[in-house]
């Protein structure tokens, strides 16, 4: 068993490296808030007031205290479709048989750290899918776990949450006869890895697509989580949108296609509030994807010959749509320019 203190050494290294790896640094925010070290992240609540997330815990704490709880009670599911736009709770996976239409595609959504199934990221993605697709929509809410402000606990819980999520996917495939090719999992931050862990649980076939929206970085790239990360083997097609690369999200490619809006790192356009530059940039990934569902004119990304060319913004290759319309045969690294004006318009208008 690994102690919190051991885990924090790794996470501090990751976050510390991030401060030197991109053009953006935390120098200004740490100068303004001297007590804000690399182990603290600020998130805006619904009133745009800061709430604190901690990358560290008390050194005497045990990481695995969470596992005393019943994961089946902690993780909730809700079903939506055009016939059930307000949602119905799924108390047990067998309830899926009452609502799921196996002739339609299935979209599964989950959130990240300090979020939930009825919070903005999940709601916008859900509403976007309802607008764009006549589909089964399953929202997985693990906020009873992910809402813990001490990041190491939900980070290390992701494999178990993913395995439980996978039992619902297996029920859809094995018991209801749903074609796994028609399943699309979308996850933000820690939820991206949860989606990967869930996808690899499917035994009969492979899920068609997993979209990772700025997959969480801290702890994962140091091998702390034994289950690894979301990767290309978790679905037939894995696409990634990076928006806080090297800080809260991965910078290195993880999917068949990796798209880097505005270069992939913070600050993303519109993320100008000092306290929230990182959290805001991290959230731009799901806003871009949600906007792609509402928008009839897609954002365009351009293929880069290499990762170095991405950093230099020297990309002039094949062009593709960003978000929902990204084709499953797309491969490589792509740069996209997304303005705040486009994002806000697309996120609030369905024209």
What is the per-residue pLDDT across 266-300, written as a single tens digit (0 to 9) for each?
999 989 887 788 889 999 999 999 999 998 888 99
> Who wins on pLDDT, 217 or 350?
217
Structure tokens at 126: 């859900």
Instruction: Work out the mean pLDDT of the chain and round it to a whole number.
Output: 85
Answer yes or no: is pLDDT of 171 > 90: yes
**Residues classed as catalytic:** 189, 214, 282
What pLDDT sits at residue 14?
41
> Who wins on pLDDT, 313 or 255?
255
DSSP H helical segments within the chain, as ranges? 4-21, 27-32, 71-74, 120-132, 143-146, 152-170, 190-199, 277-294, 307-311, 340-348
CATH code of the region 4-348: 3.40.50.1820
What pLDDT sits at residue 56?
65
Q: What is the DSSP string of 209-235?
A: EEEEES-B-TTTTTT-STT----GGGS
Please classify residue 73 by burial: count the beta carbons closer than 10 Å to its beta carbon, then call 0-12 exposed, 13-18 middle and 19+ buried: exposed
Q: Is residue 170 very low, low, confident or very high in pLDDT (cuts 50, 70, 90)? A: very high
Answer yes or no: is pLDDT of 16 > 90: no
> Who wins on pLDDT, 216 or 30?
216
What is the arithmetic mean of pLDDT over 202-216? 98
What is the arithmetic mean of pLDDT over 173-178? 98
Q: Is residue 228 very low, low, confident or very high in pLDDT (cuts 50, 70, 90)? A: very high
Answer yes or no: is pLDDT of 22 > 70: no
| Element holding 76 (H helix, E strand) | strand 76-80
CA–CA distance from 131 to each of 137, 246, 261, 292, 328 (Å)? 12, 33, 24, 11, 21
Q: Which long-range contacts (CB under 8 A, 24 or more apart) does 60-66 make?
A: 60/4, 61/4, 61/150, 62/1, 62/3, 62/4, 63/1, 63/2, 63/3, 63/4, 63/7, 63/152, 63/153, 63/156, 64/1, 64/156, 65/153, 66/145, 66/148, 66/153, 66/154, 66/156, 66/157
3-7, 275-279, 299-303: which is most confident: 299-303
Strands 257-261 and 332-336: parallel
Q: Is residue 63 very low, low, confident or very high in pLDDT (cuts 50, 70, 90)? A: very low
42-46, 109-113, 305-309, range with the lowest pLDDT: 42-46
What is the arithmetic mean of pLDDT over 157-162? 96
Share of the chain above pLDDT 90, in %: 64
Answer yes or no: is pLDDT of 209 > 90: yes
Q: Is residue 44 very low, low, confident or very high in pLDDT (cuts 50, 70, 90)? A: low
> Who wins on pLDDT, 347 or 69?
69
What pLDDT sits at residue 225?
82
Q: Is residue 21 very low, low, confident or very high in pLDDT (cuts 50, 70, 90)? A: very low
* Domain spans of the chain, in order of start: 4-348
> Who wins on pLDDT, 197 or 279?
197
């Amino acid at each position: 068993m690994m102690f919190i203190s051991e885990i924090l050494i790794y996470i501090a290294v990751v976050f510390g490296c991030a401060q030197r790896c991109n053009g953006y640094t935390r120098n200004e925010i740490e100068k303004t808030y001297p007590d804000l070290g690399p182990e603290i992240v600020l998130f805006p609540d619904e009133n745009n007031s800061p709430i604190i997330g901690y990358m560290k815990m008390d050194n005497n704490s045990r990481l695995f205290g969470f596992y005393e709880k019943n994961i089946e009670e902690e993780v909730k599911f809700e079903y939506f479709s055009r016939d059930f736009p307000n949602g119905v709770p799924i108390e047990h996976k067998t309830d899926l048989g009452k609502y799921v239409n196996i002739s339609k595609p299935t979209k599964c959504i989950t959130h990240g750290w300090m979020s939930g199934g009825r919070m903005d990221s999940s709601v916008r993605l859900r509403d976007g899918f309802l607008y764009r697709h006549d589909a089964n929509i399953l929202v997985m809410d693990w906020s009873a776990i992910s809402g813990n402000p001490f990041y190491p606990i939900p980070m290390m819980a992701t494999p178990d949450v993913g395995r439980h999520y996978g039992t619902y996917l297996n029920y859809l495939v094995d018991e209801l006869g749903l074609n796994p090719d028609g399943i699309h999992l979308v996850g933000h931050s820690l939820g991206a890895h949860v989606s990967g862990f869930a996808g690899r649980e499917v035994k009969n076939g492979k899920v068609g697509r997993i979209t990772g929206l700025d997959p969480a970085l801290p702890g994962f790239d140091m091998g702390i989580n034994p289950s690894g990360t979301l990767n290309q083997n978790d679905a037939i097609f894995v696409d990634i949108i990076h928006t806080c690369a090297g800080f809260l999200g991965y910078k290195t490619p993880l999917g068949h296609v990796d798209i880097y809006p505005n270069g992939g790192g913070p600050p993303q356009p519109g993320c100008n509030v000092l306290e929230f530059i990182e959290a805001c940039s991290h959230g731009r990934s799901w806003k871009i994807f949600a906007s792609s569902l509402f928008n009839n004119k897609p954002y365009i990304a351009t293929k880069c010959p290499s990762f170095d060319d991405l950093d230099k913004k020297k990309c002039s290759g094949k062009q593709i749509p960003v978000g929902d319309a990204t084709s499953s045969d797309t491969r490589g690294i792509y740069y996209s320019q997304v303005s705040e004006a486009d994002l806000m318009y697309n996120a609030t208008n369905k024209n």
